[in-house]
Amino acid sequence: MIEVLEIHDNFLEGVYTIREKVFVEEQNVSKEEEYDEFELASTHLLASIDKKPVGTCRIRKTKSGVKLERFAVLKNYRKMGVGKALLKKCLEILQNESYIYLHAQVQVVDFYSSFGFEVFGNEFVEANILHRSMHLKKTR
């Protein structure tokens, strides 16, 4: 069973370990670009399977709305519903927010689309990776 919890300042080590493996080691994102001034101001989620941390993401309030960021799942746990569990928890936490958006790596645009996110704007490069801007289409 996948458990997703909000993680606070003094328990961020598991979050950083996952992001280090996925973004810095696998995707060659520099540590300077991966870790930024928003770490402590963001809400971090940590997904675990059998108490082992396997996925993470963060939620950050911006001037534009709420941005979902840094979705990362350890390689051996992909395609097991971890990303889905993280995104569902984000949307549950943010159910009353009026504007939710994210920058999706192009290979996962369909994943976010399946949750009601829509692409807007042109493709762009962030951390040397091709992305698309997406926002949640509210049905209300």
- Buried-state track 83-97, b at ≥16 Cβ within 10 A, e below 16: bbbbbebbeeebeee
Average pLDDT in the 21-35 region?
94
Domain count, the chain: 1
Q: Does residue 26 sit within a domain?
A: yes
Distance of CA 38 to the CA centre of its chain: 14
Q: Which residues, in sequence order, are CB contacts of 77 under 8 Å at separation 6+?
A: 49, 54, 55
Domain enclosing residue 20, as ranges? 2-99
Q: Does residue 12 sit within a domain?
A: yes
* Residue-wise pLDDT tens digits, 108-135: 999 999 999 999 999 999 999 999 999 9
pLDDT band at 26 (very low <50, low <70, confident <90, very high): very high
pLDDT band at 58 (very low <50, low <70, confident <90, very high): very high
CATH of residue 70's domain is 3.40.630.30
Q: Does residue 54 sit within a domain?
A: yes
Q: Does residue 20 sit within a domain?
A: yes
Q: Does residue 30 sit within a domain?
A: yes
Strand, coil or helix: what is 96? coil
Q: Over 60: is that where the pLDDT of 140 sits?
A: no
* Residue-wise pLDDT tens digits, 83-97: 999 999 999 999 999
Q: What are phi and psi of 75, to 5 degrees?
A: -50, -45
Q: Over 80: is that where the pLDDT of 34 sits?
A: yes
Q: Does residue 109 sit within a domain?
A: no
Q: Does residue 39 sit within a domain?
A: yes
Q: Does residue 130 sit within a domain?
A: no
Rounded distance between C-alpha atoms, residue 55 and residue 140, angstroms: 30
Q: What are phi and psi of 134, to 5 degrees?
A: -140, 150
Rounded distance between C-alpha atoms, residue 79 and residue 136, angstroms: 23
The model carries a pTM of 0.94
